[in-house]
Amino acid sequence: MQRILKYTITEPYINYTIEKFLLEQGYTRKIITHLKKYENSITLNDKWAYVKNKLSLNDILVVTLTEPIENNIVPVKLDFKIIYEDEDILIVNKPAFMPIHPSLNNYDNTLANALTYYFQSKKESVVFRCITRLDRDTTGLCIIAKNKLSASILNAQTKNRQIHKTYIAICEGEVNDCGEIEAPISRKEESVITRCVDFEKGDYSKTLYKKLRYNKKADVSLVQLKLLTGRTHQIRVHMKYINHPLIGDFLYNPNNTLMNRQALHSYKLSFIHPISHEKMDFMAPIPNDMQTLL
């Protein structure tokens, strides 16, 4: 796969080295080292350039990202919905019961398998890089990076809490109109998967919530949630902590069988595009099983 990026040098970057300029555009030193392996991967005014070359006003810098594909993911035709796609990113509405990556018991039923098939059908070779991961049973929006550069920039945005995610959940009982949950989370002793609130050993965790609707007959609340930290199972653990566990959550609410999965959906995504720097906003409708329960 190749991604060609063209830059016209403006006044703030006069006398920058190419390396310094690329670092400011979000390239990592690892990506710059990778570029050096390929002839003409960096050209300045149509001539092969070194990263120590200096830039002048109105110079044309072209970077060709070449990425050999070493793909051992089995392509499988699976149902999923694409919300948006360009040369650098893909936004997917992930269905329920679909893991993100292949594992021992999920070799050919994952989002990685589905996208490998999709890209091959388009005669594209793309390394699978999921930026915003979701649990197997959680539905909703995921960002996929289609090249090294977009992945690097989006991962930095994730680390800096610049990718804003809003979730929708259905919880037991009538939840307060709004509030915040500030309770540290750690792995439960003797468990690889289960998390719990632990004020001695846990990592700082904070969740904001807002009740959108209450169904008195079913005694369930539709709740909007925003994460201010990114701990594993954070929403599920925090809602259990305030005695409003998620419907259908076999791990943290095993006695509730109103749904056959946890009622959790990644509803909104907002972030800055890694290459164009445009503000991106996406929404995915509440899935049918959650709508039916409401």
Each residue of 101-156: pLDDT tens digit?
998 888 899 999 999 999 999 988 888 999 999 999 999 999 999 999 999 999 99
In this prediction the pTM is: 0.90
- Predicted confidence band at 36 (pLDDT cuts at 50, 70, 90)? confident
Q: Residues 6 or more apart from 116 whose CB is under 8 A from it?
A: 71, 73, 74, 75, 76, 128
Q: Count other Cβ atoms within 10 Å, centred on residue 212.
A: 14
CB contact at 8 A, 12 and 58:
no
CB contact at 8 A, 83 and 141:
yes
Q: Which residue has the tokens 């030193």?
A: 29
Taking only the tens place, the pLDDT of each residue in 195-234 is: 999 999 999 999 999 999 999 999 999 999 999 998 999 9
* Active-site option among 59, 79, 86, 135: 135
Exposed, middle or buried, 62 (CB in 10 Å: 0-12/13-18/19+)? Answer: middle
Question: Nearest-CA neighbor of 97 among 292, 233, 255, 248?
Answer: 248
- pLDDT for 287 beyond 90: yes
CB contact at 8 A, 234 and 183:
no
At residue 293, the pLDDT reads: 87
Q: Count other Cβ atoms within 10 Å, centred on residue 2.
A: 11
At residue 105, the pLDDT reads: 82
Taking only the tens place, the pLDDT of each residue in 245-283 is: 999 999 999 998 889 999 999 999 999 999 999 999 999
Distance of alpha carbon 232 from alpha carbon 274, whole angstroms: 25
CATH code: domain 2-66 is: 3.10.290.10
Give the pair of three-digit tokens for residue 245: 């566990």
Distance of alpha carbon 69 from alpha carbon 139, whole angstroms: 28
- pLDDT for 1 beyond 90: no
Catalytic status, residue 135: yes
At residue 103, the pLDDT reads: 87
166-266: CATH topology is Pseudouridine synthase (3.30.2350)
At residue 64, the pLDDT reads: 96
CB contact at 8 A, 208 and 225:
yes
- pLDDT for 68 beyond 90: no
Distance of alpha carbon 180 from alpha carbon 168, whole angstroms: 15
* Domain map (residue ranges) of the chain: 2-66, 166-266
